[in-house]
């Protein structure tokens, strides 16, 4: 079972089921900085150090394309990066928080701020140069053209 929370779990504050839940001990609340574990603050918030969130995605295909959709609300287009290979795509980005609020002033803090990424194996070959990425109202839609393996070309031979 993976201990890394998905992007969706982070922004919604997803809870574990009762049999998965383990009451934190005093020692687990005071983990050392840099050990990669959760650190609890004075208000019992959990802060994960230097860890990227994982994006929640929908991936589906049409006859000619692979479509990847994910929510990136609050992220500027220049803070998003798409890397596409023949059979996989990686989406990375950063959502920056531009407010100064003392931790003690929060009643609830569920929004995710920071770096995120997701690498998705597509299962079919795609054309890395034939990609369209559009963000509308926080929904990023990436349309990638599938390789047409049945496409043939007739080449005319020239004599020099």
- DSSP code of 6? B
C-alpha distances in Å from residue 46, one per residue of 39, 40, 68, 97, 110: 6, 5, 30, 17, 10
Q: Bridge-partner residues for 115, per DSSP?
A: 94
Distance between CA atoms of 17 and 20, rounded to whole angstroms?
A: 5
Predicted pLDDT at 28: 42
Return per-residue pLDDT of the chain as tens, 160 residues: 446 666 666 666 665 554 444 544 444 444 334 444 455 555 555 555 557 778 889 999 999 999 999 999 888 888 999 999 989 999 999 888 778 888 888 888 888 888 988 999 998 999 999 999 999 999 999 999 998 777 777 888 988 8
Distance between CA atoms of 124 and 144, rounded to whole angstroms?
A: 11
Contact 50, 112 (CB under 8 A): no
Q: Smallest Cα–Cα separation from 106: which of 31, 44, 26?
A: 44
Predicted pLDDT at 15: 52
**Quick one: tokens of 81?**
């990066």
Question: Which residue has 């003392």 as its token pair?
Answer: 102
Average pLDDT value for the chain: 77
Domains of the chain by start residue, with CATH: 17-50 (no CATH), 52-148 (2.60.40.790)
């Amino acid at each position: 079972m993976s201990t890394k929370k998905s992007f969706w779990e982070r922004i919604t504050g997803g809870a574990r089921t009762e049999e998965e839940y383990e009451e934190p001990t005093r020692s687990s609340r005071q983990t050392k900085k840099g050990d990669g574990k959760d650190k609890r603050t004075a208000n019992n918030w959990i802060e994960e150090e230097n860890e990227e969130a994982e994006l929640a995605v929908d991936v589906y295909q049409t006859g000619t394309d692979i479509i990847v959709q994910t929510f990136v609300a609050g992220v500027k287009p220049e803070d998003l990066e798409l890397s596409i290979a023949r059979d996989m795509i990686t989406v990375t980005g950063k959502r920056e928080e531009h407010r100064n609020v003392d931790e003690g002033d929060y009643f609830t803090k569920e929004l995710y701020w920071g770096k995120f990424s997701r690498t998705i194996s597509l299962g079919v070959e795609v054309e890395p140069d034939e990609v369209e990425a559009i963000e509308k109202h926080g929904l990023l839609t990436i349309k990638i053209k599938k390789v047409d393996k049945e496409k043939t070309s007739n080449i005319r031979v020239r004599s020099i």
